[in-house]
A and B are shown apart, each in its own frame.
Chain A
């Protein structure tokens, strides 16, 4: 089955620890994205990547880091510098036509991160 997988589904972190969220896709999509979702708010873009070994900051990149060493993988690290990391994190991918704003994004099931 083609799709996007995220792991783990639930993640607990102590304050001051870095954690890495996994995102893998087997759709052969060029572009991948990370979003953060908080209750009562829309999704906010953290980072995105349109090609291997290249990525761009989104609207709320502070306290996060990413890498894109393989086309199918786009892990997100939540660092200790992120002041309020408790949230639901969603990964997405799309076949990019060059304009990511017109491409349909396909979403993974999400990871819920809780800082204890």
Chain B
């Protein structure tokens, strides 16, 4: 069965420094992968998605992610954190058999001034 692992439950950075949120997945085939962001008590918003096109995917708000099949990773990065980036981030993979989405447990990003 497919799975997705977010390697850090919490990440803290200073404003203006780079952000790295790590995600590893398991999938038999070339998966669809997503990153969603959730601000407190809000719904989820799509940051970016990978569906077997370019391996470097650019998303909204300066975020990007690189699909690395050899490492089964899809890490999310941003060159310079902003205070408004503080939120919960979810890595998501599509299940090969059921075609449903499988959500990671989330990484809470804190940004300090």
Q: Do A and B come from the same complex?
A: yes
A residues apposed to B, CB below 8 Å: 4, 6, 40-45, 48, 58-59, 88, 90, 92, 99-102, 104-110, 112
Check if B105 is an interface residue, CB within 8 A of chain A: yes
Name the CB-closest residue of A to B94.
Answer: A101
Name the CB-closest residue of B to A91.
Answer: B43
Assess the A110–B42 pair: CB atoms within 8 A: yes
- B12-20, B45-53, B61-69, B72-80 - the one binding chain A: B45-53
Check if B71 is an interface residue, CB within 8 A of chain A: no
If over half of A's interface residues share one DSSP class (helix, strand or loop), that class is named, otherwise mixed; here it is: loop
Take A41-B105, A42-B105, A101-B32 as given contacts and tell me if A58 and B100 are in contact as well, using a CB distance cutoff of 8 Å.
yes
Q: Could you pull out 30 A-B pairs where Cβ atoms are within 8 angstroms?
A: A40-B9, A40-B106, A41-B105, A42-B105, A43-B103, A44-B103, A45-B100, A48-B100, A58-B100, A88-B41, A90-B43, A90-B44, A92-B43, A92-B44, A100-B99, A100-B100, A101-B32, A101-B95, A101-B98, A101-B99, A101-B100, A101-B101, A104-B34, A104-B46, A105-B46, A107-B36, A107-B44, A109-B41, A109-B42, A109-B43
Take A101-B32, A101-B94, A102-B32 as given contacts and tell me if A45 and B101 are in contact as well, using a CB distance cutoff of 8 Å.
yes
Name the CB-closest residue of A to B49.
Answer: A104
Contact with A along B68-96 (1 / 0, CB 8 A): 00000000000000000000001000110
Q: How many positions in chain B have a CB within 8 Å of any CB in the partner chain?
A: 25
Residues of B within 8 A of A43 (CB): 44, 90, 101, 103
Residues of A within 8 A of B49 (CB): 104
Name the CB-closest residue of B to A10.
Answer: B41
Name the CB-closest residue of B to A59.
Answer: B100
Residues of B within 8 A of A4 (CB): 43
Query: Nearest 3 A-B pairs (CB), nearest first?
Result: A101-B94, A42-B103, A107-B43
Residues of A within 8 A of B104 (CB): 42
Take A42-B104, A101-B32 as given contacts and tell me if A110 and B43 are in contact as well, using a CB distance cutoff of 8 Å.
yes
Residues of A within 8 A of B94 (CB): 101-102
Expressed in whole angstroms, the minimum distance between the Cβ of B24 and any Cβ of chain A is 14
Name the CB-closest residue of A to B32.
Answer: A102
